[in-house]
Amino acid sequence: MESSPIVIEERLRSGRLTAILLAVSAVAAVAPCRRRHFPVSRARAALSAVIVAVVATLASRIVARVVQTPDGRRFEVVYGPGGLIRQSFDAADIERAESGTLSPLRTGGWGYRGSLAVLRRAAVVTRGGDALRLELSGGRRFAITVDDPAAFAQALNAD
């Protein structure tokens, strides 16, 4: 029997983030759009509500995991039902993994913040508190809030 390639996996606690996004979606869908104060058509408000609802669905199903591959261990963040969107970091790209903390106030709010391509740093913030911090090749940095960042760091730093 073949063993699972997943070394450690955690579904992120994103209930508050999802609730906030769904509340924003509901307000955007039913809020009156007065031309004088808020010049947006009902169709555009409804489209905005749908987009926020889709983002809330993706946020409600975020999974972080370390996967064993033939080339070493890889860190993956899977967003949405069925892994609709994936972000992965190969062992060669991860220079160091360590535990730390993240604050939504210091990172600019909840959700996916930043850009690895443009700003060279990004974070997935679903709550304040414990977080896994990755130092990546090229001076890039990635952080994600998880319950046991030390276990993730240990799994990634192990040879």
- pLDDT value for 135: 96
Residue 34 lies in a domain: yes
Residue 82 lies in a domain: yes
Domain count, the chain: 2
Reported pTM = 0.74
pLDDT tens, position by position, 39-73 = 556 677 777 777 777 777 766 778 888 888 887 88
Nearest 10 degrees: Cα torsion 87, 90, 91, 97: -20
- pLDDT value for 1: 40
Element (H, E) at 6: strand 6-11
Residue 1 lies in a domain: no
Task: Say whether both 43 and 94 belong to one domain.
Answer: no
Task: Say whether both 66 and 141 belong to one domain.
Answer: yes
- pLDDT value for 53: 73
Task: Say whether both 82 and 33 belong to one domain.
Answer: no
Task: Say whether both 84 and 47 belong to one domain.
Answer: no
Nearest by Cα to 126 from 17, 8, 11: 17
> Where in the sequence is the domain holding 119, given as residue range(s)?
6-11+62-157
What are the residue ranges in the chain where pLDDT is below 70? Answer: 1-4, 14-17, 25, 28-42, 58-59, 159
Question: Sign of the CA dihedral 146, 152, 153, 156?
Answer: negative
Residue 98 lies in a domain: yes
- pLDDT value for 83: 74
